[in-house]
Amino acid sequence: MPGFELFGDSERKELQDVLDNGVLMRYGFDGMRNGHWKAKELEKALQDKLQVNHAQLVSSGTAAVSVALATAGIGAGDEVIMPTFTFVASFEAIMMLGAIPILVDIDDTLTLDPKAVEDAITNKTKAIMPVHMCGSMANLDALQDICKKHSLILIEDSSQATGATYNGKPLGSIGDLGCLSLDFVKIITAGEGGAVLTNNEAFYRHADQYSDHGHDHVGNDRGAETHPFLGYNFRISELHAAVGLAQLRRLDEFVAIQKKNYSIIREALSHIPQVTFRTVPEGGEESYSFLSFFLPDLETSRKVIQAFKENGIDACWNYYDNNWHYIRKWEHLKTLKTLYPLSTKVKEGLEYLKSQTFEQSNHYIGRNISCLIKLSWTDEEVQERANRMYKVIHNILKNS
């Protein structure tokens, strides 16, 4: 991860095909495009690869979450349960619809703790949204049981875990709706882009129309199409879809490389007794895009991160001190710093963030280090990295 590390002739060929054809928009211009439909091709390829009936491409992973929520009728004042550890896009997408993100604790999977989810449900809760961070997944069996018990929608944010599986099924295909990101730093990239996945015909139809100003996409005359409901512009371009199409064909190759590199580093660190690894739920297989492990305490994690930097070991993070991926530093959310007035429902719904603490999340995030697994490393570079990581952690623990 990410796929841009291995850009090659296949991506260039698909891009050149669009440029030679001359139609960059995914809809319309039927007479000009001579049968070239990159977005449609990529949607069909996603359906086949990720084992879903429907895939709708959109402009970003953030857009995918907002579109998914809208297709399920979730909006003003509705509550959506999500984890404290994610990217800011997760709560941004919820708030865009006037809904309220309800953040709850994670467990040692680094994803939603099912017990914390159960405790957070109110009569305003409409959906549970696990975020499969750093290449691995939430306990989806437990979350599905909770959703069935309370008649809630399950929306998977699989932006960081394309290629991972749970009980043999690709992540993103298990919930009522799944969301992917195809941005520049994902395992498969389109530069910018995202996708909504579903087996629900009505949800798919809503996503198809809502993401294109409400166009019904009936007939061959775009200007004559009707508008069943209001929508917005979340379209992907043919250029972005072309890159994503080439990258998706290489997903198995990318996952295999990541698994090889991940396994070498994990094997080295497994010889340190104080190092433990994130829990992968039974039946799950990671995409191996990150290696996530725990140290004894926050102080040790901070020392290791600093020593990694000093020893040239890049792309490793202790998210406790991160501005973008953990609630501790999301002051702009807690204090509602916006360019425009928020609804009273949203402001009241987020009052809890001013006082609520997340000690369980702090316990796991404070001790965690997550390291990106690159596709471009040589075997020698991976082994050297593993040796240096082992040495740094061993020496810090020995002197603690």
38, 49, 186, 303: the active-site residue: 186
Quickly tell me which residue has 């990258």 as its tokens.
247
Contacts (Cβ under 8 Å, ≥6 apart) of 385:
265, 313, 377
N-term to C-term CA, the chain: 33
Q: Which of 145, 165, 110, 72 is nearest to 291 (CA)?
A: 110
Check if the beta carbon of residue 39 is closer than 8 Å to that of residue 234: no
186 among known catalytic residues: yes
Q: Report the C-alpha gap between 356 and 46 in whole angstroms.
A: 40
Check if the beta carbon of residue 83 is closer than 8 Å to that of residue 102: no
Q: Give CA separation, 210 vs 69, 71, 217, 259, 376, in Å.
A: 11, 8, 11, 38, 38
Q: Report the C-alpha gap between 131 and 136 in whole angstroms.
A: 9
Q: Give CA separation, 284 vs 113, 140, 231, 294, in Å.
A: 16, 10, 36, 19
Check if the beta carbon of residue 315 is closer than 8 Å to that of residue 5: no
Residue 32 DSSP SS3: helix
CA torsion 109-112-117-118 (nearest 10°) is -30
Quickly tell me which residue has 């495009």 as its tokens.
33
Contacts (Cβ under 8 Å, ≥6 apart) of 300:
367, 396, 397, 400
Residues taking part in catalysis: 186
